[in-house]
Amino acid sequence: MTITLIPDQPESPTNRPPSMHRLRTWLRRPYARHILIWTVVIGFLLLPLAWLMLAAMNQTGAPASEIMKDIEQTVFVFTIVSIPITAFVFAVLLYSLVGWKQVSGDEPPMQDSPAIRTNRIGVILWTFVSSALAFFLVVWGLIELAQITANSYGTISADQQPGDNNSVIVNVTGQQWVWTFAYPQHDGIVSNVLYLPIDKPVYFNVTSKDVIHSFWLVELGVKIDANPGAITQTGVTPNKEGVFNLRCAELCGMHHAYMETEIRVVSQEVFDAWTREMGGMRTS
């Protein structure tokens, strides 16, 4: 569309049709209405995904901690937020293919389509909406990240970890292809199964004897790499009793697939009984 400037004709806002009128004109067009309807329909069809995703995540007993709850909340919100925009794109796709005009055949169509070069309102609206969405996601993510960092005691370094009775410190060692857990507050007992008391902060100091492993408490939503030559800190407060999965999430050699163990979140009494029972097995 070529636009010629007509300098001798001054701009006159009164000549402009009212914006509501323009919107109504636009909405009167069948394609505009169809796209809106299709977007809403596809959006509602996609909506169950938000719950289905959580159902898949919760299959083995998650969420078992505040962190996992935050993670699931994030997944849920992100799904809800991305559904309108996905539905809109899918609606345009589908509509342009089956709702609008179509030709087939070996020869290029004789009739060209309207030369829509750009649409200022559309472009501005899209930029604004997509930036706003991205901004929302970033802000949401930063807040949630701060929250899970706080919940996993990620800002507390190893020498500041309290050694008192109100928390548990676990030194996690990954090696090809077994996890071992040492409890320095409990006579340094060592176990191959991760026992945790419920509702008590747990501090993990994670390291590796050989290659990189990743310490993943699946239903508790904790993941941190176990690096050789370095100790990484994380933590969690489990709030649900049960048997959960601990898997290695970083390829670590032949038996990587078998480098898993169980997490037993138990009541304080059971935990105390277990530590007493293990106490005699102190390693040198």
Q: Which of 19, 97, 165, 269 binds other proteins (CB under 8 A)?
A: 97
- Give the range of 71-79, 164-172, 195-203, 266-274 binding other proteins by CB under 8 A: 71-79
Asked if residues 143 and 219 have their Cβ atoms less than 8 Å apart, the reply is: no
- 111 is a site residue for other proteins (CB under 8 A): yes
Asked if residues 192 and 181 have their Cβ atoms less than 8 Å apart, the reply is: yes
Query: Residue 38: which H helix or E strand, with range?
Result: helix 30-46
Asked if residues 31 and 100 have their Cβ atoms less than 8 Å apart, the reply is: yes
CA–CA distance, 256 with 250 (Å, rounded to integer): 8
Which residues have C-beta within 8 Å of that of residue 209, sequence separation ≥ 6?
Answer: 173, 174, 175, 176, 228
Rank residues 202 and 250 by Cβ distance to other proteins and give the closer one: 250
CB 123 → other proteins: shortest distance, Å? 6
CB 163 → other proteins: shortest distance, Å? 22
Give 21's DSSP letter.
H
Q: Which of 24, 51, 96, 163 binds other proteins (CB under 8 A)?
A: 96
- 154 is a site residue for other proteins (CB under 8 A): yes
Q: Which of 43, 84, 198, 232 binds other proteins (CB under 8 A)?
A: 232
- 211 is a site residue for other proteins (CB under 8 A): yes
- 124 is a site residue for other proteins (CB under 8 A): no
Q: Which of 40, 47, 50, 53 binds other proteins (CB under 8 A)?
A: 53
Give 220's DSSP letter.
G
- 34 is a site residue for other proteins (CB under 8 A): no
Task: State how far the alpha carbon of 284 is from the alpha carbons of 147, 188, 189, 190, in Å.
Answer: 39, 10, 10, 11
Q: Which of 33, 48, 149, 163 binds other proteins (CB under 8 A)?
A: 149
Which residues have C-beta within 8 Å of that of residue 235, sequence separation ≥ 6?
Answer: 151, 152, 153, 154, 156, 201, 202, 203, 204, 222
- Give the range of 36-44, 117-125, 157-165, 268-276 binding other proteins by CB under 8 A: 117-125
Binding footprint of other proteins, residue count (CB under 8 A): 125
Within 155-184, the residues that bind other proteins by CB under 8 A are: 173, 175-178, 180
Helix, coil or strand: residue 11 = coil
- 84 is a site residue for other proteins (CB under 8 A): no
- 30 is a site residue for other proteins (CB under 8 A): no
